Amino acid sequence: MKNILIILVCSILLTNCSNRLVLGERCTKADPTSKMFERSWIWAVDREMSKEAFDKRISKENCPKRIAKKS
């Protein structure tokens, strides 16, 4: 477990050298034919991409609403 944490921290630090990190749950828009999308809590964004362009493609609003399961 300790090794996994060290690898994760190192990869985040190295990624941050060339990109900026966006934290928080965000999703891509779902494909209309297959209904598939990407969901992640950590996004590595190219520094040249503007915040507006990123938020247009990947945002919290694109995440489908979760339905509570009945027990």
The pLDDT assigned to 2 comes to 82
pLDDT band at 31 (very low <50, low <70, confident <90, very high): confident
List of E strands, 1-71: 19-28, 39-46, 58-59
> Per-domain residue ranges for the chain?
2-62
Q: Is the pLDDT of residue 5 over 80?
A: yes
pTM of the predicted model as reported, rounded to 2 decimal places: 0.58
Q: Is the pLDDT of residue 16 over 70?
A: no
Per-residue pLDDT, averaged over 50-61, amounts to 87
Q: Which residues of 14-49 are buried (b: 16+ CB within 10 A; e: fewer)?
A: eeeeeeeebeeebbbeeeeeeeeeeeeeebebeeee
- Residue 59 phi/psi, 5-degree rounding, is -150, 170
The pLDDT assigned to 64 comes to 82
